[in-house]
Structure 1
Amino acid sequence: MHILLLEPYLTGSHRSWAEEYARFSAHTVHILGLPGRFWKWRMHGGAITLARQFLAHPFPVDVLVATDMLDLTTFLALTRRHTAGIPCALYFHENQLTYPWSPQDRDVAARRDRHYGFINFASALAADALFFNSPYHMEAFFEALPPFLRHFPDFRELETVEQLQARAKVLPLGLDLRRLDAHRPPTGVSPSRPPRIVWNHRWEYDKNPSDFFEALYTLAERQLDFEVVLLGENFRNAPEEFTQARVRLGERIVQFGYEASFAAYACHLWQADLLPVTSRHDFFGASVVQAMYCGCYPLVPDRLAYPWLIPSALHSRHLYRTPAELVERLAHLLRHPPTPADTAPLRAAVRRFDWETMAPRYDRAFEALAEGGATKKPTR
């Protein structure tokens, strides 16, 4: 079977997801993508460019899989002579209905931000099947959709919400977790080293670096001993909290910035001890899963996708409700560092997201779509 995967924002976790699925799938996966920059322009114009690229070299396709960054309606309209009748799936890494925009964003100030959510809505209507990367994400999208549509003056199309729900399923993100095993240090951490706190997320507003660093400043003021590793993609307009932290935490920071080498990134995760997460948004939590697989002890908010990632029996150990609780839990762990036995259950729990398990699941989902197993769009 031939699968055409369309990703207008082919970078970071989106790129890893696409390329890894192509590598682990039993089917032939063709990726058409664009560089991961100018995300708003990608949502507007990416479909036109990808349609042109596809039409320049068309090939047989059994299933078309687009991500939420694509205006699927435009792509299908421009390629209709080749794609009419081909089953289409829309995979939601994120959605623009519930994504927490920065208050400084110009489109928020001008109240233009709803247009990107409308692209998601129209693309969902054009797809035969919708896949979300977590139960939380699917629930959040369909909870937000009716009030989103009520913003419009008339013909709000509220009846389409139920139609979309009928063709929506959860298909968790696949990750090449076993790749991390090759970089596991052969020896244990020296007992003379202070506990190491890691940040391995994007350096952006939605990951809430403010609360993360405020917690660390409080711990430093209490004279607690710890080191800090700051990983993750950083961009031109990275939040100023990172620059401030470099000054205020000084020599506590043993790594500052993105590691281009996967080996170096993996080694940092294996050597880290604590993973305090403060995100305002996480529809899945790929970086959190990677860190847990490498033995980091997570402290995550009791919201978003995290209660689903963490086994319910471990919620009391790893979920917190307030920033103050996070600080106290961290302080306790710095005084009494976790052992490998404390993190082993989490490592076992996240193995379910490895491509060894997920690739066959993706293949079955797309095979069912190709065979007409998806709920088809109603005809009028």
Structure 2
Amino acid sequence: MKIAILEPFLGGSHEQWAKGLQQHSAHEIKLFGLPGRHWKWRMHGGAVSLARQLRRANYQPDLLLATDMLDLGTFLGLNRDLCGHLPVALYFHENQLAYPWSPKDADPGLKRDNHYSFINFTSALAADRLFFNSAYNQESFLDGLGPFLKAFPDHRESDLISKLRAKAEVLPLGLDLRRLDVAAARQQVAGPPVVLWNLHWEFDKNPGFFFETLIELAQEGLDFQLVVLGEGFARQPPIFKRAREVLASRILHWGYVESQAEYAAWLWRSDLLPVTSQQDFFGGSIVEAMYCGVHPLLPQRLAYPEHVPKAFAKAIFYSEANAFKAHLRILIQSKPSALPVREWVATYDWQAIAPLYDSSFVKFVQAKTGD
């Protein structure tokens, strides 16, 4: 089967997913994409550019697989002579209904944020099948549509939500976890526990709460070291600068690493992954750390409960923000051994999950075409 992936935001985790699927699928996959920047413009204009790309390529797929940043209705309208007969699936990496906005962005105050959520809604209507990377992503979108549509004056068409639910299913994110095996396996290292940050340096990961808690615990006299992975940028939250100064004596590494091998080595070297995120539709970085034996401390919400066996829920989750500091204090003082969850999250590795993608696509296309 021939599949055309349509990705207006070909960068970061979106690009890793698209290229990982292309590499590991048994099907022939051709990727049509645009650079991963200017996300608002991609949701508006990406459909026009990708419609032209597909037309110029003279490629005849059996399945169109778009992602949530595409205005799918516009794309299909521009290519109705080429795509009118094709099965169309939409893969949601995130959804704009549940995505928190930066406090520095003026769009929510002007109600312009509603437009991006409405693009998600109309794209879902235009697709024949909806795939979500997590159950949390699926439910936050479908459950959020009712209140969202009620905000409009009339002709809300909220009865269509049930039709969207009927064609939705969860297809977890595929990850190249085996690339992390290049580093030596975890060994017990003497000394204080190593606390890890391997998330984006952005407000929705709540770095202020994370670093302020570490600073308070350091002031209490708790002994720990710190590894902060990722790349800084000009408009990063100011807490990163403050934390680097205040916690300087505890820092083993700060910032970008040059290779995947170095990234993997720091994961294997770390002991604790405290997470304070306000948003995570899947949590690929958390899964990578868990695969390498890092003990996570996670909020019991978002997509995280989907990654943890119930037997370890008590050891991993905190339910209230005010409980985070107390839980982290105990973990730093006790330096617990790695939890045996590696095999659980290893099911997200492409070698394990690509066959699930392939069979889902085949079943969908056969049901749609009758072949």
TM-score interval for Structure 1 and Structure 2 normalised by the shorter chain: over 0.9
Which residue of structure 2 lines up, in the alignment, with residue 140 of structure 1? Answer: 140
Aligned with 2:257 (options 239, 256, 259)? 259
Q: Is the 8 A contact 1:215 1:323 kept in 2?
A: no
- Native 8 Å contact 2:275 2:296 kept in 1: yes
State whether residues 197 and 275 of structure 1, in contact with CA within 8 Å, keep that contact through their aligned partners in structure 2: yes
Counterpart in the other structure of 1:188: 187
Match of 1:360 among 345, 348, 355: 355
Corresponding residue for residue 56 of structure 1: 56
- Residue-by-residue CA offset, 1:104-154 (whole Å, 9 max, x unaligned): 211112221000000000000000000111111111111100111111111
In structure 2, distance between residues paired with 1:223 and 1:181 = 35
Q: How many equivalent pairs are there?
A: 370
Q: Is the contact between residue 64 and residue 89 of structure 2 (CA under 8 Å) also seen in structure 1?
A: yes
Matched residues, percent identical?
51
Query: Residues 13-64 of structure 1, C-alpha deviation per residue, up to 9 Å, x if partnerless?
Result: 1111110111110011111111111111111111111111111112110000
Residues 1:238 and 2:217 aligned together: no
2:83 is matched with which residue?
Answer: 83
Shift of 1:103: 2.1
CA distance in 1, matches of 2:9, 2:107: 20
Post-superposition shift, 1:315? 0.9
Quote the RMSD (CA, aligned, Å).
Answer: 1.5
Distance 1:159 1:65 in 2: 25
Taking a change above 3 Å as real, the CA distance of residues 244 and 142 of structure 1, as seen in their structure-2 partners, is same
Structure 1 runs (4+) deviating above 6 angstroms are none
In the superposition, the TM-score normalised over structure 2's length comes to: 0.96
User: What whole-Å deviation, never above 9, does each CA across 1:3-22 have from its counterpart, x for those lacking one?
Assistant: 10011111111111110111
- Structure 2 residues without counterparts, runs of 5 or longer: none
Q: Which moved more, 1:90-99 or 1:330-339?
A: 330-339
Post-superposition offset of 1:189? 4.6
Contact 2:8–2:46 at 8 Å: present in 1 too? Answer: yes
SS of alignment partner, residue 33 of structure 1: strand
Instruction: Give the alignment of 1:209-224 within 5 angstroms.
Output: 209-224=207-222
1:348 and 2:347 matched: no
CA distance in 1, matches of 2:174, 2:32: 19
CA-CA distance at 1:290 after TM superposition: 0.3
Between 1:94-103 and 1:324-333, the stretch displaced more is 324-333
Determine if contact 1:63/1:369 at 8 Å carries over to the other structure.
no
1:296 paired residue number: 294
Cα separation, 1, equivalents of 2:50 and 2:56: 10
> 2:351 is matched by which residue type in structure 1?
E
Q: 8 Å contact 2:87–2:368 — kept in the other structure? A: no
Distance 2:288 2:369 in 1: 32
In structure 2, do the counterparts of structure 1 residues 367 and 320 end up closer, same or farther at CA, with 3 Å as the change threshold?
same
Residue 5 of structure 1: SS of its match in structure 2? Answer: strand
Provide the residue aligned with 1:337 in structure 2: 335
Report the counterpart of residue 378 of structure 1 in structure 2: none
2:311 is matched with which residue? 313
Q: For residue 261 of structure 2, give the secondary structure of its aligned residue in structure 1.
A: helix
Question: Whole-Å Cα distance in 2 between the matches of residues 290 and 107 of structure 1?
Answer: 33
In 2, Cα distance between equivalents of 1:135 and 1:362: 16
Q: Which runs of 5+ in 1 are unaligned?
A: 376-380
Q: Tell whether the 8 Å contact from 2:2 to 2:63 is kept in structure 1 after alignment.
A: yes
2-side partners of 1:202 and 1:9: how far apart?
16
